[in-house]
Amino acid sequence: MPEFHNSVDTLRLKFFEKGLTEADLVLLSGETHTIGTTTCFFVRDRLYAFMGANTSDPAISPALLPSLERQCPKDGSPLDRILLLDQVTGDSFDVQSLINIKNGFSVLPSDSILYENNITKSVVDFYSVPESAFAGDFVVEVQFVMNV
């Protein structure tokens, strides 16, 4: 299973080992985060100790950072405080999570890094338009993974 702190190369390898592609990675990792929640535990280092430094992840949009910092303050916030994965459209099943990846609005680092690799970036770009085939392809992906 992918972990929230994996590099894009590690994520790709984990998917390849199961016979899956970069498109599968984007649809099943990035797009499944169009709905659901996470906790401050999984984003705290990204906000306050990125790469071991006393700074935030530069991939986080300056428009999103203050909101995440309010939801998960550096001091005093319980690590189990719940955050929406999609800070824009909430729990709507749509392409917004992919748009979030493009615009620096990803909450989890494992989503954000999908835009740092040329192959996964092109898949994010392809599926991040409302007219894309993402919904149909997502259903096919879920059915496929159920058999993996």
Residue 130 marked in a binding site? no
More confident residue, 3 or 26: 26
Q: Judge whether residue 73 has pLDDT over 90.
A: yes
Q: Judge whether residue 38 has pLDDT over 90.
A: yes
Residue 34 marked in a binding site? yes
Domains present along the chain, CATH in parentheses: 8-146 (1.10.420.10)
pTM: 0.85
Average pLDDT over residues 104-109: 94
pLDDT at 1: 67
Residue 94 marked in a binding site? yes
Residue 37 marked in a binding site? no
Picking from 66, 69, 48, 70, the residue whose alpha carbon sits closest to that of residue 57 is 48
pLDDT at 136: 77
Residue 2 marked in a binding site? yes
Average pLDDT over residues 133-147: 75
More confident residue, 147 or 16: 16
The residues with which 105 forms a beta bridge, in sequence order, are: none
Q: Which H helix or E strand runs over 83?
A: strand 82-84
Residue 120 marked in a binding site? no
Average pLDDT over residues 40-61: 94
| CA–CA separation, 129 and 33 (whole Å) | 16
pLDDT class for 42, splitting at 50, 70, 90? very high
| CA–CA separation, 135 and 60 (whole Å) | 26
